[in-house]
Homo-oligomer: A and B are copies of this chain.
Amino acid sequence: MPRVRVHNFTVTVDGFGAGVGQRLEAPFGDGVDGLHDWMFAAMEDKANGKGGIDAGRVGAWEEGIGATIMGRNMFGPVRGPWRDDSWKGWWGDNPPYHHDVFVHTHHPREAFAMEGGTTFHFTDEPVEAVLERALEAAGGQDVIIAGGAATIQQYLRAGLIDELNIVVAPLLAGAGERLFDNVTEAMRNYQVTEMVSSPAATHVRLQRR
Interface residues, chain A, CB within 8 Å of chain B? 13-15, 31, 166, 168, 170-175, 178, 180, 183-188, 190-192, 194-197, 199, 201-202, 204, 206
Known: A15-B180, A170-B192, A170-B194. 14 other contacts (CB 8 A): A13-B166, A14-B180, A14-B183, A15-B15, A31-B188, A172-B191, A174-B183, A174-B185, A174-B186, A174-B188, A195-B199, A196-B197, A197-B202, A202-B202
Stoichiometry, copies per complex: 2
Residues of the B chain whose Cβ atoms lie less than 8 Å from the Cβ of A196: 197, 199
Q: Which listed residue, B13, B184, B191, touches A206 by the CB 8 Å rule?
A: B13
Residue of B nearest to A188 (CB): B174
Cβ of A140 to closest chain B Cβ, rounded Å: 30
Chain B min CB distance to A206 (Å): 7
